Structure 1
């Protein structure tokens, strides 16, 4: 892990552990949204998949970090929680603390979420698929909803427009609907040029996209998500195989 590198840059891609309630708020999720098949992409150390499963949702998570042995991943997540908490505390003025109370409450909630994730990873490893955008090992239309938080736009300093378009099109391929949060970068800055370019490319590819307000703001200025919809293209299984084998899987 690298050190915190400056006022606008948290450093390496952070493996976080957001909670189910945070997901509900930042993606404006209703009970109806959780009735089908849902993919968390990238899932990191979030407890969303475990908590959604407990409520009857056919939930899965995908992330390249799941290629690590579970014990190593959990140890890494502990370090990442400390790094994320240190960043949020050092930059407290950039955040709205209403949802958590204060930095200590935020750290406590994330630690609880990470513990739920660790138990679920040990008990049900098949729910956590090792793969990375812009290539997902699932059939077309495998999910009713794909959720993606704090990767696209957040790391616009290192992920270019081409990557954003490819990643969004891939998520739209595997999901009937895609929700991406937030649409600002690490410093809370709006990205009008990047967003306009991405929307134009998606529209040309037949993917409907709109920016929609959500009832959540932790990072100041992060009050909206990008919502994508495309025509259903479910084709059934197009090959068998585990992630990484070159085949496509259908959860």
Structure 2
């Protein structure tokens, strides 16, 4: 048996940062594009982790699906969390507008269209959180309170790789292993660049090499969505059960 490679550290080449972790309110339409989702993909049980203020869980369940979101921010009292979302939408929009050259606005039309979509998504999320708080589980990677094989599909958006300036290689590896534990069939992660638009190819290569030893097959899949320039690819993971 070959010796398992040891992870190295990744350091972002950009000192620019959005600041505190953003509670993003992405819509299900954005999720469909980011993760190249089809109706077959979401036919089973779906986990959104971290879910933030996204309305994807609400929309999937409204369409007859079975979805759950997990995020440590869900430990916040409901009224307080809903109250924070307007400010978070404004903060995210201000960041994107201030760095407009890093983005392609076609999907939204313009910055105002981007802000409107996020505002509407935040509203839908808040309404669903009030109605069905059981769909929103307070939990943080890399330790999720779900049994093995609990989900058919996991979607993980804008945490891993996005915050590579503060989440090290060990965290990324532990988080991906945990997502694979709860959904050995399919895990999809997007985007594969950091928040400043810098590539994370070195980190990605290290993680894929590590996961290969765990019996996990990794695929880089092009998607028909690009908001951050260069973010045209998602990572898809599947457990093969063959450990090296």
TM-score, length-scaled by structure 2: 0.91
Identify the residue that residue 72 of structure 1 maps to in structure 2. Answer: 80
Identify the residue that residue 113 of structure 1 maps to in structure 2. Answer: 121
Identify the residue that residue 164 of structure 1 maps to in structure 2. Answer: 172
RMSD: 1.2
**Are residue 126 (structure 1) and residue 134 (structure 2) matched?**
yes
1:39 to 33, 47, 51: 47
2:213 to 187, 204, 225: 204
Identify the residue that residue 225 of structure 1 maps to in structure 2. Answer: 234
Matches within 5 A, 1:1-251: 8-175=16-183, 176-231=185-240
Name the CA distance, whole Å, in 2 between partners of 1:78 and 1:71. 12
The 3-state SS of whatever aligns with 1:208 is: strand
**Greater mean alpha carbon deviation, residues 195-204 or residues 7-16:** 7-16
Show structure 2 runs of 5+ residues with no match: 1-13
Runs of 4+ in 1 over 4 A off after TM superposition: none
Show structure 1 runs of 5+ residues with no match: 1-5, 233-251
Contact 1:35 1:56 in 2 (8 A): no
Name the CA distance, whole Å, in 1 between partners of 2:157 and 2:111. 20
Q: CA deviation at 1:8?
A: 2.7
Contact 2:25 2:121 in 1 (8 A): yes
Name the CA distance, whole Å, in 1 between partners of 2:200 and 2:227. 18
Name the CA distance, whole Å, in 1 between partners of 2:33 and 2:207. 24
Greater RCO structure (CA 8 Å; 6+ sep): 2
